[in-house]
């Protein structure tokens, strides 16, 4: 069974750093893009960025470029989303997703987000 | 402000049909596949339609997708109370080189 299992709830203060994780099982981790989607309280979905674990090629939405870092550790089939300095506006649920494509290594041939993690709640408050 | 435009809400009686529109441009829907997702309160979204009109295994044929030009539509027939959820469209935007979503549509069964 294909699964994305995310790390648990995080409560942090503004200015602190954070790294959340997404453990993959049930398929070959290096063969598919994996990404992150943000959902702020009471709001819609926002595509943040993706990474191809095979070569760590990462792409970001302009809205999130420079704000977060997406990485992948092939040795443990795990993707990460990281902040250097959190802000209160980073409070949200973050979902990891498998970004399926119709052509390998072409994120623009976007088929759909076919597998979702359960979500990680991040609360940033002083 | 989302790149793709959806109506905030739609509603219909049980057994009826609803359609949800998703409007974009040539840089996104016009030249890329559209996918649809539904999300129940407190849970992760789930893929309903991919590549404009394909259903993943386990999704009933009451759900259908179509695309024409720079717009896409999700249809739900035989509406059930269990279909009450938020529905989102998504696609790739070639100008942004990123995925994009619509703002979401809340489906209410009257």
Q: For residue range A55-72, what is the model confidence (pLDDT) as tens digits? A: 999 999 999 999 999 999
Residue B1 has pLDDT above 90, yes or no: no
pLDDT of residue A90: 98
- Nearest by CB to B47, which of A50, A112, A118? A112
Minimal Cα distance from A44: which residue of B? B103
Across chain B, mean pLDDT equals 97
Mean pLDDT of B4-22: 97
- A119 inside 8 A of chain B by CB: yes
Mean pLDDT of B3-26: 97
Residues in contact with B74: Cβ distance below 8 Å, sequence separation at least 6, in sequence order: B19, B20, B22, B36, B48, B49, B63, B64, B65, B87, B89
Selected residue of B49, B98, B102, B105 to mutate for chain A interface (largest A Cβ count, 10 A): B98
- A58 inside 8 A of chain B by CB: no
Residue B36 has pLDDT above 90, yes or no: yes
pLDDT of residue B88: 98
- Residue-wise pLDDT tens digits, A2-25: 999 999 999 999 999 999 999 999
Mean pLDDT of B24-50: 97
User: Does B44 contact A119 at a Cβ distance shorter than 8 Å?
Assistant: yes
Cβ-Cβ contacts under 8 Å, B94 against chain A: 108
Cβ-Cβ contacts under 8 Å, B91 against chain A: 110
Q: How far is A70 from chain B (nearest CA, A)?
A: 14
- Residue-wise pLDDT tens digits, B57-80: 999 999 999 999 999 999 999 999
| Rounded (10°) CA dihedral B23, B86, B82, B66 | 20
Mean pLDDT of A75-102: 97
The HSE-up count of residue A105 (CA atoms within 13 Å, CB side) is 5
- Percent of chain A at pLDDT exceeding 90: 94
- Residue A66 burial (10 A CB sphere; 0-12, 13-18, 19+): exposed
pLDDT of residue A19: 98
B56-to-A22, A114, B18 alpha-carbon distances in Å: 23, 8, 20
């Amino acid at each position: 069974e294909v699964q994305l299992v995310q790390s648990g709830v995080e409560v942090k203060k503004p200015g602190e750093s954070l790294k959340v994780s997404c453990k993959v099982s049930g398929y070959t981790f290096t063969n598919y893009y994996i990404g992150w989607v943000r959902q702020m309280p009471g709001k819609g979905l926002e595509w943040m960025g993706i990474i191809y674990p095979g070569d760590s090629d990462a792409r970001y939405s302009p809205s999130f470029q420079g704000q977060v870092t997406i990485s992948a550790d092939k040795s443990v089939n795990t993707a990460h989303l990281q902040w250097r300095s959190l802000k209160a506006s980073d409070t949200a649920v973050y979902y990891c997703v498998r970004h399926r494509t119709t052509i390998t290594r072409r994120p623009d041939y976007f088929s759909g987000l076919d597998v979702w993690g359960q979500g990680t709640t991040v609360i940033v408050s002083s | 402000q989302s790149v793709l435009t959806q109506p905030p809400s739609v509603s219909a009686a049980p057994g009826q049909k609803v359609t949800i529109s998703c409007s974009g441009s040539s840089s996104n829907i016009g030249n890329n596949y559209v996918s649809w997702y539904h999300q129940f309160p407190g849970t992760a979204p789930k893929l309903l339609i991919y590549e404009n009109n394909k259903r993943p295994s386990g999704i009933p044929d009451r759900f259908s997708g179509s695309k024409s030009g720079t717009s896409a539509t999700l249809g739900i027939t035989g509406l059930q109370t269990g279909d009450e959820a938020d529905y989102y469209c998504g696609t790739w935007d070639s100008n942004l080189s990123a995925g994009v979503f619509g703002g979401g549509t809340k489906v209410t069964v009257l």
